[in-house]
Structure 1
């Protein structure tokens, strides 16, 4: 397969950092076959970029999802020669309603538009579980706007020309990954637990999606921790 150089939008976030770490470990493990090139960290502020460069020794760039233009991001993508992009950014439940729409929604739209303009076809969007089920999220306290923004972003991604994968995890938790998820046909077994998923396992799934576009391109995949090893989950897709 083509050597992967991945731009991580939101690389300073909890999932973004885990993904950076895992890509760098994969790069060391697979050094002989050159599957991975150094990833590119794209963050919100200069201080974040300097910190990631010092900690991970990766190229880091500042792109303000709210204020910067699509052409600004095009310049970064062209100059770095990336061939895949992962959108892990978002204010989520911690920001105001305005930022849900300027970052989680329009920020994602800007990234998709930039990828289309420069020809970066592979795109992975981290969304949320059961996004199409309004009965599930309509009355969740404080989350309605979040789900509306994420759902709209998903729909924009699906309408694009990109080879996308939309990952829809349940509630994300820190801690050591389990290396296991639930098969898709059993996903609702975790409904009472909020479809919980370790962030480390989400990062592992992103890695697998990047390595296996033939199984994951133009697909939406719901995720929760379970009893099926991730490699077997991928084999069953």
Structure 2
């Protein structure tokens, strides 16, 4: 089962791709340009060039499921959030449905269902996540939506919590998100689930 990774060149995406390669989990990394290919080629990871703001349907060929961990990033404006985090995610869901993929695994955000409660500068992003998640729930493809808290660059612990009360905070390391993503990819029977991800004390399988 080959997994297409949309957003492979991002901070979570790269960590996930490396974990997948180390574990022997077949993946295809979608990158925006050939200039990004060297890092993946050095690790023997298959790549395909695709643009979320343009053509990327060809990237799905030969894949059984898709991971969406792309993001416009904190240094872009609402226009990129609209095109990548919202419309890119929606188009990916539609293509996954059309190609009969088994699952669409979305990296969303904690409390994406309440964008007006987010800090003002984060509201366009949270609104994009809210709408993309809603579209995915009503698509024809099975899904898993992961909802990580505030992202950090801390080292992985491989220990998790599913509520702020349990965790005592609302944060999670990108490394832990990448690890959780790998476990979801490796658990094909997990469908139509939504999982909040925070740093905690439980193994990931206890959440899944």
Q: TM-score range by the shorter chain?
A: over 0.9
Count of residues in correspondence between the two structures: 208
| Cα offset, 1:18, TM superposition | 0.5
Question: Which residue is equivalent to 1:91?
Answer: 72
Q: CA deviation at 1:93?
A: 2.8
Instruction: Say whether the 8 Å CA contact 1:18–1:200 is kept in structure 2.
Output: yes
Q: CA RMSD in A?
A: 1.7
Find the aligned partners of 1:61 and 1:135 in 2 and give their Cα distance.
Answer: 37
In structure 1, what is the equivalent of residue 145 of structure 2?
166
Distance 1:169 1:115 in 2: 23
| Structure 2 residues without counterparts, runs of 5 or longer | none
Paired position in structure 2 for 1:188: 164
TM value normalised by structure 2: 0.93
Q: Contact 1:166 / 1:219 at 8 angstroms: preserved in 2?
A: yes
Are the counterparts in 1 of residues 7 and 30 from structure 2 also a CA contact under 8 Å? yes
Once the two structures are TM-superposed, the CA of residue 136 in structure 1 deviates from its matched residue by: 2.8
Q: How far off its partner does 1:60 sit?
A: 1.0
Q: Would you say 1:40 and 2:28 are equivalent positions?
A: yes
1:40-66 CA deviation, whole Å, 9 max, x = no partner?
010112201x22343222221111111
Contact kept in structure 2, 1:190 and 1:196, CA below 8 Å: no
Determine if contact 2:158/2:176 at 8 Å carries over to the other structure.
yes
Larger radius of gyration: 1
The corresponding residue for 2:2 is 5
Which runs of structure 1 show a deviation greater than 6 angstroms over 4 or more consecutive aligned residues? none
User: TM-score by structure 1 length?
Assistant: 0.82
* SS of alignment partner, residue 199 of structure 2: coil
